[in-house]
Amino acid sequence: MSLQDEIRRLTAPDILARKGGDPIVALTSYHAHTARLVDKHCDVILVGDSLGMVMHGFESTVPVTLDMMILQGHAVMRGSKRALVVVDMPFGSYEASKEQAFMSAARVMKETGCGAIKVEGGVRMAETIAFLTARGVPVMAHVGLTPQAINTIGSFRAQGREESDWAPIEADAKAVAQAGAFSVVVEAVAEPLGRRITASVAIPTIGIGAGPACDGQILVLEDMLGLSPRVPKFVKRYGDLGPGIEKAVADYAKDVRARGFPGPEHVYAMKGKKP
């Protein structure tokens, strides 16, 4: 590949510049192999801490560690070339102080090579977001339903279902935008609230269950592929890979149990052996 052919990876400023423009396409990925597939079609790949539930079978994202995020973030960087890779900061790695947040974010960026990090929280995280961005860490914020707060909010239900609940969520989005976040994930809020937030902040909103008015959309890859056991109501299924995988595994098991050779016959033929 010549230097001219080299693909330039999108940056946080590229995504910021998309406010009100072409919709931003984002998906999660936790592995090099899925990153390779997603990278062709997405502007942003989020290495979400949802990996705790999707990959590891935890009940929530709370048990996820910084080391887990770094390992998968590095894998996604190896698998992708074009998309901006954003790595989630896991619960307990950034909330204690802005200094703790910087040390954790610096580790994530150095050890994965990712282009940005994501933190959950609005008004309460604004000072930290300003501290990080002033020190070279591009921050994607996350408001509305913030899954790391599951133990205080009690369930993964949509937020802002009553109009009377909208003001604090809108204030959260405005606070992170003013603090210097380059984009904000808005999760599981009523469609009119998603629209209102998108109109009132100067940074791109990336919706997940927040309606079509957002500047971009994100889904958890395994949810939209039909591979997750529990999927939020707002997720559209674009594939149903579970049965296909199960059938392939069942066929393989059948071959092995019948002492059939689970490899292409020509491999043996080339070596002058019969399978």
Active site residues: 187
Nearer to ligand KIV, 101 or 208 (CB): 208
| 48 touches ligand KIV (CB under 6 A) | yes
The binder of ligand KIV chosen from 49, 170, 172, 222 (CB under 6 A): 49
The residues in 20-39 that bind ligand KIV, with binding defined as CB under 6 A, are 28
| Residue range at the interface with ligand KIV (CB under 6 A); choices 44-52, 108-116, 239-247, 263-271 | 44-52
Nearer to ligand KIV, 170 or 222 (CB): 222
d(CA 211, CA 61): 24
Nearer to ligand KIV, 35 or 272 (CB): 35
Residues in contact with ligand KIV, total (CB under 6 A)?
11
The binder of ligand KIV chosen from 125, 218, 222, 225 (CB under 6 A): 218
Minimal distance in Å, beta carbon 251 to ligand KIV?
Answer: 32
The residues in 98-137 that bind ligand KIV, with binding defined as CB under 6 A, are none
The binder of ligand KIV chosen from 10, 24, 45, 208 (CB under 6 A): 208
Site map 138..167 versus ligand KIV, x via CB under 6 A: ----x-------------------------
The binder of ligand KIV chosen from 39, 88, 172, 222 (CB under 6 A): 88
Nearer to ligand KIV, 80 or 262 (CB): 80
Q: Transcribe the chain into DSSP letters.
A: --TTTPPPPP-HHHHHTTTTSSPEEEEE--SHHHHHHHHTT-SEEEE-TTHHHHTT--SSSTT--HHHHHHHHHHHHHH-SSSEEEEEPPTTSSSS-HHHHHHHHHHHHHHH--SEEE--BSGGGHHHHHHHHHTT--EEEEEES-GGGHHHH-S-PPB--SGGGHHHHHHHHHHHHHHT-SEEEEESB-HHHHHHHHHH-SS-EEEESS-TTSSEEEE-HHHHTT--SS--TTPPP---HHHHHHHHHHHHHHHHHTT--SS-HHHHHHTT---
Residue 185 φ/ψ region, left for φ over 0, alpha for ψ in the -120 to 50 degree band, beta for the rest: beta
Binding positions for ligand KIV, rule: CB under 6 A: 28, 46, 48-50, 88, 142, 185, 208, 218, 220
